[in-house]
Amino acid sequence: MSEHFRYHRKKRVLIFLIILLISGIISTAITAAFAFAGDLGMKIAQGLSSIMLFIVPPIVYYRVTRTRHPMESLGFRDIAKPWYLYIIIGVVLMFISLPVTNQLTRWNEAMDFGGFFPQLEEYIKQLEEMAATVTEKMLKVDTFGGLLLNLLVIALIPAVGEELTFRGVLQQGLVRRMKSPHLAIILSAAIFSFIHFQFYGFLPRMFLGILLGYMFYITRSLWTSITMHFVNNGTAVVLYYLNNKGIIEIDPETFGSSQYFWFTAISLLVTAALIYWCWWKVENDAKKFDD
C-alpha cells in the first residue's frame, strides 16, 4: 500500500460513510430549519444542503485519508496544456450533445413497467411530479438578483459538489479498482444518475455523467468537468430567466432537440469524435514529452 494513503481501503470506505452520515444529518437539519422560510429560504436551504452533502464530505475525506496533496488527489489538478482548448471543447460538447440528450429524454419518458408494477410506477410518477414542481418554482424568476441566486444555487454549487463526489471520489476510486476505465466511467455515471432518484430522467443524466466522466479522466482535472457541469445547469437557468422575462419564447425543456434522427446521429458522432480526439491528443502529447 502506497504511503500516499493514510488508511487501509476498508477503513477509508468506513470513514467516508461516517462523514457522509454526519453531513446528511446536518443537511436534514438545515432543510428543516428553512422549511417555512418561503421561496428564498427554500433556495438558501437547497444551497447549504448541497454544500453539506456533496462538497464538505469529499474535501474532509481526502484531507483525512491522504498524506500528501489531498486537494490535488481529489482532482484539483492543472488541466493538460493547452488547458483552454479542453475547456472550450468541454463547453462545446454540452451544446453539441443536446440532440442526443433530448432524444434520450424522450425515450426515457416513454418507458413504462408494462402494467407489472402499477403501484411502483404511480409512486415514481408522483416523485417526478413533485421534483418538477419544486424545480419549476425555483426557476420561476424574472429579476437579475433572482437569476444570480439561481446560478449559484442551481448551477454552481451542484456543479462543484457533484463533480467532487461523483468524479473526484467515486470515479477515481472505481478507476483504481477496475481494469477498464471505460467501465468505471459508465458505472460512476449510472450511480450519479441513480442518486438523483428521477427514473424518467435517468438516461439523459447518465449520458451527461459519461461526458463529464470522460473529460475528467482525459484531462485529469475537475476544473474541466466542473466547468462543463456549470454550463449545462447554467444554460437551463438562463433560458428559464429569459423565458420568464418574455425575451425569448424557446422552451428550455426542448432546447437543442431535433425531430430528425439523422441530426441526432450526427450529434452523437461528433460528440464521440471530440472525446476521442481529446484522449488521443493528451496521450500523444504525453508520449512526446516522455521522448
Alpha-carbon separation of residue 93 from 98, 107, 237 (angstroms): 8, 21, 18
**pLDDT given for residue 1 in this prediction:** 43
Confidence of residue 179 (pLDDT cuts 50, 70, 90): confident
Tell me the three-class secondary structure of 47-93, residue by residue: HHHHHHHHHHHHHHHHHHHECCCHHHHHCCCCCCCCHHHHHHHHHHH
Alpha-carbon separation of residue 266 from 62, 113, 220, 260 (angstroms): 40, 31, 27, 10
Q: Contact, 61 vs 53, CB < 8 A?
A: no
Pick from 141, 170, 169: nearest CA to 155: 141
**pLDDT given for residue 220 in this prediction:** 94
Give the chain's mean pLDDT: 90
The tens digit of pLDDT for each residue in 258-285 reads 788 899 999 999 999 999 999 999 988 8
- pLDDT above 90 covers what percent of the chain? 66
The tens digit of pLDDT for each residue in 55-92 reads 999 999 999 988 788 999 999 999 888 899 999 999 99
Confidence of residue 95 (pLDDT cuts 50, 70, 90): very high
Alpha-carbon distance of 3 to 16, in angstroms, equals 19
The tens digit of pLDDT for each residue in 151-178 reads 999 999 999 999 999 999 999 999 999 9
Question: Residue range 135-158: average pLDDT?
Answer: 93
**pLDDT given for residue 132 in this prediction:** 79
Give the predicted TM-score (pTM) of the model. 0.91
Alpha-carbon separation of residue 218 from 80, 215, 279 (angstroms): 9, 5, 6
**pLDDT given for residue 39 in this prediction:** 83
